[in-house]
A and B are shown apart, each in its own frame.
Chain A
Amino acid sequence: EPEVTQTPSHQVTQMGQEVILRCVPISNHLYFYWYRQILGQKVEFLVSFYNNEISEKSEIFDDQFSVERPDGSNFTLKIRSTKLEDSAMYFCASSDRRGGGYEQYFGPGTRLTVT
């Protein structure tokens, strides 16, 4: 069964450094998303991406964040200058509206630790 993959599974970085989190969505999916989950808290939407541009973004997704689909398979989230409060689990998800469904399938997540 196709699945969303994410790399790395765990990233440790120093405050102020740039990080890039990578995702490979399910191949025939058209919509891509990033979410974050701070430990012990609920999952929060960051951004959605469709047709090579941002569709929606939350208040969390400020100028420190950017997303890109550099090729036909990868979808990346970049944090330009990490802060301690960016430490969280970051989930990538994808969905395919064809067929009428809106299920979003999640990857296993990247745990980001900012020291």
Chain B
Amino acid sequence: AQTVTQSQPEMSVQEAETVTLSCTYDTSESNYYLFWYKQPPSRQMILVIRQEAYKQQNATENRFSVNFQKAAKSFSLKISDSQLGDTAMYFCAFLRDRGGADGLTFGKGTHLIIQP
């Protein structure tokens, strides 16, 4: 079974600062995907970024980037130039490469607060 660990229950930074959220995972799979999802107070789950395990290059989406360390089973999210709208719960998620049938395994989340 896969496990996903987010060790920071809550983080708070000032607007415009850069913040890094940590995520580690445990698996015996060699092919898999990793995701970060954002959940604002509305509780909608919004996909932020995706990383394929077979790709060495770290994924980037505008202000969001990841640091994927496959050997260390680490997948951190960096948010640059943080904005008030970034305030939300952030969940790291793992997906085995089983042809789309599998469900995501989520971590417990990090509550990120951006202070004005």
Contact = CB atoms under 8 A, between A and B. Distances in A.
Main secondary structure on chain B at its contact with chain A? loop
A108 B107 contact: no
Interface residues of A, number: 31
Contacts of A101: 50
B25 interface: no
A89 B43 CA distance: 9
Interface in B33-58: 33, 35, 37, 42-47, 50
A56 interface: yes
Given A102-B33, A108-B42, A46 B103 contact: yes
Contacts of B114: none
In this complex, the member of B42, B44, B91 whose beta carbon has the largest number of chain A beta carbons within 10 angstroms is B44
Contacts of B104: 35, 43, 45, 104
A29 B108 CA distance: 28
Contact of A48 (B93, B103, B107, B108): B103
A55 B5 CA distance: 26
Say which size band chain B's interface belongs to: 20 to 34
B102 A48 contact: yes
A103 B50 contact: yes
A102 B100 contact: yes
Given A41-B108, A108-B44, A58 B100 contact: no
A91 interface: yes
Interface in B61-101: 91, 93, 95, 97-101
Interface of A: 30-31, 33, 35, 37, 41-48, 50, 55-56, 58, 89, 91, 93, 95, 97, 101-106, 108-109, 111
Complex A-B, nearest 10 residue pairs according to Cβ-Cβ distance, in ascending order: A45-B103, A55-B101, A106-B45, A97-B100, A31-B100, A43-B106, A42-B108, A42-B106, A108-B44, A102-B33
